[in-house]
Structure 1
């Protein structure tokens, strides 16, 4: 069974869908596929903006105004247990059905697993396989009134797009340089000082020059002292994915008001 087919199946079986997105780029980490399917099936969807601790409150408030025009939206940091009580409340209020079956979906690296594990917590009572699915899809009793569908299924995106929104490890890319250069240009346009702060390398307007300097600074050198820009590119992508790079996007960056 394909990964996307697993996600579709889990959504069909759920009473409520939780779509997890990254607070540093809420708009770019949404899934139109998930939202269209959920709407077509007539199921309530809650957007959970995770990693909210990485973004200034004023920026989160701007995103809240945008996202709440369309969907019920809450902001949390699952890893730090901030705002999680709002998640429980949102799930309870989304439907009158009891027990309620919740599907937690999202692209990789948005914190979906952390949220699932939090909901399971100390209250969970075992797991059971879902008939018709592979053994990797399970239903967990998280509370008397709550069941969580747990699946490793991922939402389809192009590899380059996945890497840029933190969902694909740089080691999995055939060539990380184009993705890193796109990201560097994005950061430099908004906050070039952040690059200097992180890497102690001045931004001079050219991402390849920046990667060459970073490679030299980190000692990523090949034969004859040639800078290994691919290794420097992996560092840039990895730092963004792990949160070491605190760069974030705002509604204005998408032309949203």
Structure 2
């Protein structure tokens, strides 16, 4: 149990894991979707190792490319493709999605046969949006709430058979999962502790990130949250700044990509 969250975060139930591996074992190719702001952090080494043991072909898909400069994306692509074929795209703006289809066909090495593709990754990395693109429509449910997709879906489009899976992640502490956007902000018992942790982590990467995002800053994360609450008009009775709501704003903005920050390779 994480002392700040008051909750244990179990990645998936046993039944969900069985569905996940059933889809993966059936697939010819596995797309592992990563967040462009910190691709390495969103990889799942233990699952990648198992995929290798199963003889599965893996493609690393760096999504949300619209949030990161191209030279940074190219550096990550160059580094990661030493292990697996890698591509960066923006599912939101449909950038690079045609190249993704071409890469799938190239890696599959099947001229006329059906190609089964499993899409895996942490919640909130954009798996459903990528599936929508691969199937050629927008009818599958998508959203920024982690864990929206709960059941395996099989989508047919041309030669592709796309198998969606629940968002998965190894057991990790709550702070790490909040950073990765894998936990809904509304479920946190203490959003302030998580926001402080996130602010400290982000400022180590980019010291002026708060000033650029909100137009205010403070060396003390708690004082920053007070300032943000006042600026946004989030007040409790008596005019006291609502620190909890300010914390939720920061956490949501991070999950939604409104805080522009990225890790260099």
Using the size of structure 2 for normalisation, the TM-score is 0.83
Partner of 2:226: 212
238-247 or 181-190, larger mean C-alpha shift: 181-190
Cα distance per residue 1:138-157 (max 9 Å; x no partner): 322111x2111123353344
Note the residue ranges of structure 2 that are not aligned, 5 or more in a row.
1-13, 140-149
Could you say which residue in structure 1 is the equivalent of 2:29? Answer: 16
CA gap 1:236/1:87 in 2 versus in 1, 3 angstroms = same
Question: Match of 1:40?
Answer: 53
CA distance in 2, matches of 1:107, 1:153: 5
State the secondary structure of the residue aligned to 1:178: helix
Q: Partner of 1:152 in structure 2? A: 166
Aligned to 1:174: 189
Which of 237, 240, 248 matches 2:254? 240
Distance 1:151 1:180, change over 3 A: same
Please say if residues 46 and 72 of structure 1, whose CA atoms lie closer than 8 Å, have aligned partners that are also in contact: yes
**For 1:19 and 1:227, how far apart are their aligned partners in 2?**
41
The answer on whether the counterparts of 1:4 and 1:156 sit within 8 Å (CA) in structure 2 is no
Query: Secondary structure at the residue paired with 2:212?
Result: helix
Matched with 1:82 is 95
Distance 1:187 1:222, change over 3 A: same
CA distance in structure 2 between the aligned counterparts of 1:64 and 1:147, rounded to whole angstroms: 26
Contact map agreement 2:175 2:197 (CA 8 A) in 1: no
Structure 1 residue 169: deviation in Å? 2.1
Q: How many residues align?
A: 238
* Equivalent residues in 2 for 1:180-219, closer than 5 Å: 180-203=195-218, 205-219=219-233
Quote the offset at 1:65 in angstroms. Answer: 2.2
Is residue 7 from structure 1 mapped to residue 6 from structure 2 by the alignment?
no
Going from structure 1 to structure 2, the CA distance change for 1:2 and 1:211 (only over 3 Å counts) comes to farther
Say yes or no: does 1:91 pair with 2:84. no
SS in 1 for 2:155: strand
Post-superposition offset of 1:218: 1.8
After the TM superposition, which of the residue ranges 12-21 and 29-38 deviates more from structure 2? 29-38
Name 1:229's counterpart in structure 2. 243
Aligned to 1:254: none
CA contact (8 A) 1:138 1:149 kept: yes
Q: Give yes or no for the alignment of 1:63 onto 2:62.
A: no
Further displaced range: 150-159 or 18-27: 150-159
Could you tell me how far apart the structure 2 residues matched to 1:227 and 1:3 are? 41
Aligned-partner Cα distance in 2 for 1:2–1:222: 43
What is the CA–CA distance in structure 2 between the aligned matches of 1:184 and 1:152, rounded to whole Å?
Answer: 28
Q: Distance in 2 between matches of 1:198 and 1:186?
A: 15
